[in-house]
Amino acid sequence: MNDQPNDNRVMVYRNLTKDCWSVKSVKSGRVRFHVKVITIVNGQFKVSECGRQRVIREKKKYVHAGVVGDIGFSPITLDGWTRVRYNPYTTATFVDMDNNPIHEASEIYLTPEGYVYMRNAA
């Protein structure tokens, strides 16, 4: 997957205060907008280990994990998609429902309820 920053690449993370997803430009580092639902293509699941350790140590919620990629189109159905989750207290990475580490996906769908789904193109 491409690690080069460009104008369209974003980082998406859950905004607990606003109950939505914050979409931040990778290039500028600024939040561009907030959405209830978004799809990311050519995505990577990112976790800052330093930030994760701070969460564990202080038992407070800090932004330290999210999805990086390009904005795509939302799916009509979730058939063929796999649920992904992240809990800093139990895993160091995003994982699937069988606790297998997940680092990237061709498509990532972030729902209004705060769930994350992924699928890879065939």
**Domain-embedded: residue 72:** yes
Strand partners, 68: 11, 44
2 within a domain of the structure (yes/no): no
Does a structural domain hold residue 46?
A: yes
The answer to whether 30 and 11 have CB atoms below 8 angstroms apart is: no
pTM: 0.90
82-85 sheet: strands from edge to edge: 31-35, 20-25, 9-15, 65-71, 38-47, 104-110, 116-119, 82-85, 94-96, 101-102
Q: What is the pLDDT of residue 4?
A: 52
In tens digits, what is the pLDDT along the chain, a chain of 122 residues?
A: 444 546 689 999 999 999 999 999 999 999 999 999 999 999 999 999 999 999 999 999 999 999 999 999 988 899 999 999 999 999 999 999 999 999 999 999 999 999 999 998 65
Quick check: is 4 in a domain? no
In a domain, 100, yes or no: yes
Q: Please indicate, yes or no, if residue 3 is contained in any of the structural domains.
A: no
Q: How many domains does the chain have?
A: 1
- Written as one string, the DSSP assignment of 39-77 is EEEEEEEEE-HHHHHHHHHHT-----EEEEEEE-PPPS-
Structure tokens at 6: 């460009």
In a domain, 1, yes or no: no
Beta-bridge partners for 38: 110
Domain span holding position 92? 9-119
